[in-house]
Amino acid sequence: MKSIIVSVITAAGLMAAGSALATDMPDLAKKSGCTACHAIDKKIVGPAWMDVSKKYKGATEYAFSPKGSADAGAKKMSLEEGLIMKVSKGGTGNWGKVPMTANSPRVSDADIKTLVEFILHLAK
């Protein structure tokens, strides 16, 4: 746990200094398999985490649906809660047609929350 906190703080400090390199990815993201589809500063299969952070900067709500946020049945919730749900359950529509794969139960809810918080603070 201590190494996760140190990694997040280190990466956040580097982001604040304007250095967003893929090597700054927290160990938790590497361990959880996030790096197969995401990097901090460039699109791979999924969007760059910096782009996600910029997209949601200042937002307070998120409309979650496995079919995408434009789905008429999307459930509105807090931004953090919605992104945790998206990472946990997966879905499509927010960044194009390529779906976000479900990560739960392989990745714990606590770890997903830590990663979502890290992502949201990249553009601050």
Of 6-10, 35-39, 76-80, 97-101, least confident by mean pLDDT is 6-10
Question: In the structure encoding, which two tokens stand for residue 29, read together?
Answer: 């993201």
What does the pLDDT look like over 86-116, one tens digit per residue? 999 998 888 888 899 999 999 999 999 999 9
How far, in Å, CA of 119 to CA of 20, rounded? Answer: 12
Mean pLDDT of 58-87: 89
pTM, 2 dp: 0.77
The CATH number of the domain where 83 resides is what?
Answer: 1.10.760.10
Mean pLDDT of 30-58: 96
Q: How many domains would you assign to the chain?
A: 1
- Domain hosting 71: range is 2-120
For residue 17, the one-letter residue type is A
Q: Are 90 and 66 spatial neighbours (Cβ–Cβ below 8 Å)?
A: yes
